[in-house]
Each structure stands twice: as C-alpha cells, then as structure tokens.
Amino acid sequence: MNNFTYSIPTKVHFGKGQIAHLDELKDSGNKVLLVYGGGSIKRAGIYDRALEILQEAGLTVLELSGVEPNPRIESVRKGVEICKKEKIDMILSIGGGSVIDCGKVIAAGACSEEDPWELVLHPEKIKAALPLYCVLTLAATGSEMDGAAVISDLEKQEKWVTASEYMKPVMAVMDPEYTFSVSRKQTAAGTADIISHIFENYFTNVKAADVQARFAEGLLKTCFHYGPVALKNPEDYDARANLMWASSMAINGLIQYGAEVAWCVHPMEHELSAFYDITHGEGLAILTPHWMEFALNENTADKFADYGRNVWGIQAEDNMEISREAIRRTKEFFKEMGLPATLTEVGINRTYFDIMAEKAEAGCQGSFVELKKEDIISIFENAL
C-alpha cells in the first residue's frame, strides 16, 4: 500500500428532508449564487423548497440557470462574471454532476484573475475558491464529494478534468428521493459511471491494498444489485439511497488512497464526449468491456479473477476462465440496463479516432495496463 493523506472534508447530510440544512449556508456570508440546469429541479419542487429555506435564513440569492449536461466553459464564465460583479460569498449548485462541476469552476474563477479555461487546463493555478455547497439530484459522478470538475469547450472539441482541494464541496445534501424523477437513460448511465469509477480505482498495480479492494468489491456488488432495481421501480428508496451513497464512495478518495493508479477508460470516454457530446455514462458502458478484453493477460488475470470471484461469485479452477466470464457478465449487465453497446448506436464513427486516441494517450499514462495510441484506436475499433 502507498503512503497517503486522507482528506475528505465535505459535510454530508444524507436522507429524506435533509435539504433543511441549507440554512447552514449563512455560515459563509449572505450572498449566494444558485447554479442549476435545464429545469428538472423546478419540476421536482426542489427549487421552491431551497429558495424558501434560503430566504428564511436571510440569504440573498442570485441565479445562474441553464447549465448544460457536459457543462460548457461559457456557462462558467457567466457565473464568474456574476460572482465578481455582485460580490457573491458562496455557490450553491443544485443538480447532477454537470451543475456541481460548473459551480466548482465558478467558485475557483471568482477568486482568480485568470480566464476560467486556464483553470481547467492548469489546475495548479487554482489558489482559492468560494465555498461550494451542493444538493445532489443524480447519482453518478461523485462530484458532490470530490475536488474534480469536467468542463467542455465544444468549439475546440475539448473536454478536460481539472481538480483542486479548494473545490471540494463544503457541504452536500443527498436526499435519495430527489433522484426518483431521474429518467431510465440517466439512471442507467449514472450507474455505469459509478461502476466505472470503482473499476478505475480497483484495477491498480499497487499490491496489498486489500482494504481498498474489498471496499471496492462491496460497492460494485451494491451497484450490480440496485441498478436494475432502480430501473424497475424508480421510487424504490433503498435502491436510490444505495446508488447515491455508492456514487460518493466510488470517487471521494476512500478506495483510491494508497492504491493510486492513472485512470484510462475516462480519458478515452472524455474524447467521445468532447467530439460528439454524448452522455458520459453511456460512453463508459460501451468502452469498459473492450478495455477489459484488451487488459486481460497472463499478468493481470489474477486481478480480474479476484473481481470474478468476489463480485460475481464465479467458481472455476483457472483464473483466465473466471476472468473471461467476469468480463462477459459485465458486458451483459450493461446490456440489461438498456445501455448502448456500440459506438455506432450513439452516432460515432471512425472519423476522429486518430486525434481522439492521441489526446487520450497522455491521460492514460501510468494506468493498470500500458495503453499506446494504437491500442486506444483498436479499443475504439472493437467498440464500433
């Protein structure tokens, strides 16, 4: 196990009615920028309830609405402008990962003289951020408890992750009932995203990080169990609650500290989203089984067999056989969740494979299995 410094500072209020804790925002001042997306929070009544609590707490609220899925740098710039002009004290993001990510870079941009795109490209330039609060409405990215944000400049066909300790949310409200209204497509994509975050951490070359690995396997089993339950009955509280908590635990550092490894399916998927603006979790569901097939070899079979035995309960003598069956079941699971299985289904062809692979290669350096540009192209080809 590697050395590490554990730091997960976000205060979480989890469960029904926990939105009442939004009155704690007054600890950070009195002017709030409320950031949200295309209107799902209004339809679900969350917007009205939040405003009521904020107003009762004596807070002044300004708004930035219309944040896009795969949030754009233009929205970040708008938010930063409001913060600077109105001397905003804190950000409140209410929504999914896109809204929270947008709020994070607004929070950092408000404390910087740099153009926010510079903060996306050069995370080391983030030296401070306004306090960021969030109310999560979609279990997927784990943005509610991590320091990362993913922002796109679609004109340049670029989508990059930035990250900073300063952008970790101060507080997150997680009410599983708020995810009852999430569509089938987003429920499935969100589940695939959580699963991918767990895989990205789980497939590491760091030896003897057993605590992290066993935590990860427990999280995977939880997702494989509750994903289909949430699809079948969107108002199943336990399913929504378990997916929501798994989304945070997958990426908040818990299973990563001491077992660090570079991620690789994410850099590949971010190129798909950058060029084709597809749903992140769908891209991951398409690529993951092909990455697994590529990564399986004599050296990695023990790790894949751990996955097969401990998560799927597969019993066989030969590790290679267990591994192949585990990959087959992973693929089957995504199919049963109604997720697309090929790039063709989401409108992607070979046109940009070369440039996408070139851009993804740098992000994949140091991953579980070495990936060169040609390898990434072959994974894309196999996924067509």
The size of the chain, in residues, is 384
Q: Does 251 bind ligand NZQ (CB under 6 A)?
A: yes
Residue nearest to Zn ion (CB): 193
The reply on whether position 187 binds ligand NZQ by CB under 6 A is no
Beta carbon of residue 341, minimum distance to Zn ion (angstroms, whole number): 18
Residue 193 as a binder of Zn ion (CB under 5 A): the answer is yes
Give the H/E segment covering residue 152.
strand 148-153
Question: Phi first, then psi: what are they for 158, rounded to 5°?
Answer: -130, 140
Q: Where are the alpha helices (DSSP H) in the chain?
A: 40-43, 46-56, 73-86, 97-109, 116-121, 184-202, 210-232, 237-251, 265-276, 280-295, 301-312, 319-336, 353-363, 373-383
Quick one: 181 or 300, whose CB is closer to ligand NZQ? 181
Q: Shortest distance, CB of residue 72 to Zn ion, whole angstroms? A: 18
User: Distance between CA atoms of 213 and 209, rounded to whole angstroms?
Assistant: 6
How far apart, in whole angstroms, are the C-alpha atoms of residue 325 and residue 310?
13
The minimum distance between CB 146 and Zn ion, in angstroms, equals 11
Measure the CA–CA gap between 93 and 90, rounded to whole angstroms: 10
Beta strands 132-136 and 90-95, pairing class: parallel
Which of 19, 138, 250, 322 binds ligand NZQ (CB under 6 A)? It is 138
Separation between Cα atoms, residue 77 and residue 157, nearest integer Å? 18
Q: Which stretch binds ligand NZQ (CB under 6 A): 35-43, 112-120, 304-312, 344-352?
A: 35-43
Cβ closest to ligand NZQ, residue 263 vs residue 353: 263
Among residues 12, 19, 34, 44, the one that binds ligand NZQ under rule CB under 6 A: 44
Say how far apart CA 204 and CA 118 lie, in whole Å: 31
Interface size with ligand NZQ, residues (CB under 6 A):
35
Pick between residue 191 and residue 323 the one whose CB is nearest to ligand NZQ.
191
Query: Rule CB under 6 A: is residue 334 a binding residue for ligand NZQ?
Result: no
Single residue of 49, 240, 280, 303 touching ligand NZQ by CB under 6 A: 280
Give me the residues that bind ligand NZQ (CB under 6 A), please: 37-41, 44, 69-70, 95-99, 101, 137-138, 140-143, 146, 148-150, 178-179, 181-182, 186, 190, 193, 251, 266, 280-281
Give me the residues that bind Zn ion (CB under 5 A), please: 193
